[in-house]
Amino acid sequence: MDFRPSQEQQVLRRTVREFAEAEIAPHALAWDEAQHFPHEIVPRLAALGLLGIQFPEQYGGAQMSAIDYCICIEELARVDPSIALLVAAHNGLGAAQIAMFGTEAQKARFLAPLARGEMLAAWGLTEPTAGSDAAGTRTVAVRDGDQWVIDGAKTFITHGSVGGVMVVMAVTDRTRGSRGISAFIVPHGTPGMRPGKKENKLGLRASDTSEVVFEACRVPADHLLGELGQGFVNAMQVLDAGRTGIAALSVGLAQGAYEAALRYSKERRQFGQPIASFQAIQWKLADLATRIEAARWLTYRAAYLKDRGARTSRESSMAKLYASETAVRAAEEGVQIHGGYGFTKDYPAEKFFRDVKLMTIGEGTSEIQRLVIARQLLA
What's the Rg (C-alpha) of the chain?
21
Q: Supply angle C-alpha 222, 224, 228, rounded to 5.
A: 125
Q: Tell me if 345 sits within 8 A of 258, measured CB to CB.
A: no
Q: Is 363 a catalytic residue?
A: yes
CA 364 to CA 358: how far, in whole Å?
Answer: 10
Query: For residue 1, what are the CA distances in angstroms to 151, 201, 244, 298, 300?
Result: 50, 42, 20, 14, 12
> What is the three-state SS of 141-205?
EEEECCEEEEEEEEEEEECCCCCCEEEEEEECCHHHHHHHEEEEEEECCCCCEEEEEECCCCCCC
Give the rounded distance of the alpha carbon of 151 from its chain centre: 26
| Contacts made by residues 302-309, CB under 8 angstroms, sequence distance 24+ | 302/66, 302/243, 302/244, 302/247, 303/65, 303/66, 303/67, 303/69, 303/70, 303/244, 303/248, 304/1, 304/66, 304/67, 306/66, 306/241, 306/244, 307/65, 307/66, 307/67
The 3-state DSSP composition of the chain as helix, strand, coil percent (nearest 5) reads 60, 15, 25
- Return the H-helix or E-strand segment holding 119: none
CA 285 to CA 271: how far, in whole Å?
Answer: 20
Spot the catalytic one: 75, 127, 199, 363.
363
Could you list the active site residues? 363
